[in-house]
Amino acid sequence: MKLETRMNPRVFWGASLVIGLLLVVAIAVPGESDRLFQTAQAWVINSFGWFYIAAVAGFLLVVLYLALGPTGALKLGPDDSEPDFPYVSWLAMLFAAGMGIGLMYFAVAEPIQHYVSPPEAQAGTFEAAREAMVITFTHWGVHAWAIYALIGLSLAYFAHRKGLPLTMRSGLSPLLGKRINGPIGDAVDIFAICGTLFGIATSLGFGVSQINSGLNYLIGLPNTAWVQVGLIVVIMAAATVSVLTGLDKGVRRLSELNLVLAVLLMLFVLVVGPTGFLLKALVQNFGLYLDHFFVRTLNLYAYEPRGWMANWTLFYWAWWIAWSPFVGMFIARISRGRTVREFVIGVLLVPTAFTFLWMTVFGNTAISLDMGAAAGAISQAVTTDLSTALFHFFAELPGTVITSTLAVVLVAVFFITSADSGSLVIDTIASGGADDSPKWQRVYWCSLEGLAAALLLLAGGLGALQAATLVAALPFAVIMILLAAGLVRQMNADVAGRVVETERPPLAQQLKRILSPASRPDIDGQLARVGLPALETVREALSAEGLEAAVTRDETGLSLTASTAATGPAFTYRLSARERPRPAMTALDAPERRRTMEWRLSARSDDVTGPRDVTGFTRDQIVTDVLDHLHRWRLG
């Protein structure tokens, strides 16, 4: 029996081939591949460190420019669209996106590492403690989220407002036109898939080492590579079960409980730790972060070269770039209907604020304990094995067994949900933006993530894979610059030609749109009320220019056909009703057959492969969309 597929074969199998080749090299010759990729990573960071620093600073400036200028009022969707989620729920999901294994793994380890080996201050001093927190804030602050915001904004704008597929290539359409459907677009999407899968695989490797350390501390489970492989199998099996059976209630509730437990764990440390000191440290850390902001943003130690920069800031910038397709896709999916200004301010500030609080509570408490009661035990643990740092930290606080057990559970469930969501993100890109692809494709990517992490742990090639991911961040940073240029160009053009709507739909219609999914009669009504007049407007304009054009209607929709030259193919733009399951935010959502169905107004044109969602577009917006795609078709 032939499996149902919904994919872009060039991207799906191309990415699979690249991933397979890298895994074969890393496993077959782990020592040589590790040295090769580590050498390549060192060369990239040393030769292009200035580029990473300048690029990240530029990304922050671009997203702030788009948010604070006239473009900030543009919506990520049609002008009359409403947000898919209430404001508080949206902020909560941004909070969830900022929370994960990174904060669990590095909350104690990174501040302690900077405290015992700072770039400028004397190690082990109060000055080193202050510098450690400023550096940690810089690495986990708005710079990282500016990278994510740029990718998320590009994906959300071109998918939700311009009706293009939810893939990385769509952001290049203002620069490349319909050529995004060729080899260049395929390469961009393949890069995004490889970066996402390898990022998840390497983080999975780090995470299971922390889980193993916790279980070794709690129940004496041996800390070995085979045990860690077994943990990967269990975690990925849970993620796969979620994909197959749609355990939306159980796993989703567990994820929500996980988030609550993480906050409770932080509050516990805040209460039993040096509470007054932590509250004062939070304020002072933020003040020092602002005071050092521009220096840390552009500092390269050009006059006093040191290896610290390559091992930390440049490493982090490359890592965030490599991870940006995953996080960017997530925040794009949940942000339809928000304005650009809301999006940027929310994405930059909400996760950053929580991260600063989390890092202060864990990092400053760890430093305080290390300088006092622990007498250097925590810093010694960090130096010996990073994965044990959190458990040595809890050993200095009351309720050690409970907090350590909770930490193990938190890390495990964070990975189940991350692997599940990651497989959906990858499959969306590999399927040309489709949100209702067959579940076997998601299972394929989910399994490949776990297989990659397990094989590399056994072969000792995890470091090589991490280095390869960071090397790949260099060309992807160039892609991000092109995405930024295309986004600025398109948004400025939209502001210049924006039509202000003076008449809103009736109140009953607005409420229906918010409270219930669109039905077939709703879409048929939009076709008659908006689609037909829009296509007739374009047909009349083309006819006035002496060009042949016709609008035809059939059972499923409307078509505009235009001949723009004496010879050659005609241009076709089609509007039709399309039924689909309500979009899933993660693979934890119910299976397609069990999700509520809705009808959407779909547009297809000869310059772009695949349908585009134009539900809610006004007549003028459809006219603009027709002209945009006609222009791209002519250029291509």
pLDDT above 50 (res 129): yes
pLDDT at site 416: 77
CA distance 391 to 388: 6
pLDDT at site 590: 42
Q: Contact, 321 vs 473, CB < 8 A?
A: yes
pLDDT at site 592: 40
Q: Which of 62-66, 67-71, 118-122, 373-377 is predicted least confidently?
A: 373-377
CA distance 558 to 539: 13
Question: What's the mean pLDDT when you consider all of the chain?
Answer: 82
By percentage, how much of the chain surpasses pLDDT 70?
85
Q: Which residue has the higher pLDDT, 465 or 48?
A: 48
CA distance 559 to 531: 10
DSSP 426-457: HHHHHTTT-SS--HHHHHHHHHHHHHHHHHHH
CA distance 109 to 386: 6
pLDDT at site 463: 66
pLDDT above 90 (res 214): no
CA distance 145 to 151: 10
Q: Which of 65-69, 123-127, 400-404, 407-411 is predicted least confidently?
A: 407-411
| Cα Rg of the chain (Å, integer) | 26
Give the confidence band of 173 by pLDDT, cuts at 50, 70, 90. confident
Residue 502: how many CB atoms within 10 A of its CB?
A: 5
pLDDT at site 197: 84
Residues 6 or more apart in contact with residue 354 via CB below 8 angstroms? 95, 98, 99
DSSP letter assigned to residue 364: I
- Rounded to an integer, what is the distance from CA 239 to the centroid of its chain? 19
Q: 344-397, pLDDT tens digit by residue?
A: 999 999 889 989 999 999 999 999 999 988 888 899 988 888 878 888 899 899
> Pick from 46, 109, 87, 104: which is nearest to 301 by CA?
46
As a whole number, mean pLDDT of residues 273-291 equals: 94
CA distance 186 to 632: 18
Q: Which residue has the higher pLDDT, 11 or 607?
A: 11
Q: Which residue has the higher pLDDT, 516 or 527?
A: 527
As a whole number, mean pLDDT of residues 257-281 equals: 89
As a whole number, mean pLDDT of residues 308-323 equals: 86
Burial 242-263 (b: 16+ CB within 10 A, else e): bbeebbbeebbebbeebbeebe
pLDDT above 60 (res 18): yes
Q: Which of 280-284, 347-351, 587-591 is predicted least confidently?
A: 587-591
As a whole number, mean pLDDT of residues 206-220 equals: 81
Give the confidence band of 253 by pLDDT, cuts at 50, 70, 90. low
As a whole number, mean pLDDT of residues 244-261 equals: 60
Q: Contact, 342 vs 73, CB < 8 A?
A: no
Q: Contact, 603 vs 609, CB < 8 A?
A: no
The most confident of the ranges 47-61, 241-255, 367-381, 616-630 is: 47-61
pLDDT at site 352: 92
- In the numeric block, which tokens belong to residue 100? 């994960």
Q: Contact, 169 vs 188, CB < 8 A?
A: yes
Give the confidence band of 96 by pLDDT, cuts at 50, 70, 90. low
Give the confidence band of 586 by pLDDT, cuts at 50, 70, 90. very low
pLDDT above 70 (res 63): yes
CA distance 526 to 616: 8
Rounded (10°) CA dihedral 97, 100, 102, 105: 170
pLDDT above 50 (res 270): yes
As a whole number, mean pLDDT of residues 124-140 equals: 94
Return the HEC string of 105-145: HHHHHHHHHHHHCCCCCCCCCHHHHHHHHHHHHHHHCHHHH
As a whole number, mean pLDDT of residues 593-602 equals: 66
pLDDT at site 275: 92
Q: Contact, 266 vs 359, CB < 8 A?
A: no
CA distance 136 to 173: 37
Q: Contact, 128 vs 383, CB < 8 A?
A: no
Which residue is associated with the tokens 């390469």? 187
Q: Hey, what CATH class is 9-493 in?
A: mainly alpha
By percentage, how much of the chain surpasses pLDDT 90?
25
Spans of all domains in the chain: 9-493, 509-635
- In the numeric block, which tokens belong to residue 12? 């799906």
Which residue is associated with the tokens 């999901």? 93
Q: Which of 132-141, 207-216, 254-263 is predicted least confidently?
A: 254-263
| φ, ψ of residue 610 in degrees (nearest 5) | 95, 160
pLDDT at site 1: 41
pLDDT above 70 (res 399): yes
Q: Contact, 91 vs 98, CB < 8 A?
A: no
pLDDT above 80 (res 565): no
Q: Contact, 612 vs 165, CB < 8 A?
A: yes
CA distance 578 to 597: 10
pLDDT at site 461: 58
pLDDT at site 583: 47
pLDDT at site 142: 95
pLDDT above 60 (res 67): yes
pLDDT at site 243: 66
CA distance 382 to 503: 62
1: helix, strand or coil: coil
CA distance 414 to 251: 11
- In the numeric block, which tokens belong to residue 118? 């700072």
Q: 334-354, pLDDT tens digit by residue?
A: 888 899 999 999 999 988 998
CA distance 352 to 604: 39
pLDDT at site 56: 96
Residues 6 or more apart in contact with residue 540 via CB below 8 angstroms? none
pLDDT at site 556: 79
Give the confidence band of 547 by pLDDT, cuts at 50, 70, 90. confident
Is the pTM higher than 0.85? Answer: no
Q: Contact, 328 vs 73, CB < 8 A?
A: no
In the chain, the N- to C-terminal Cα span, in Å, equals 39
pLDDT above 90 (res 309): no
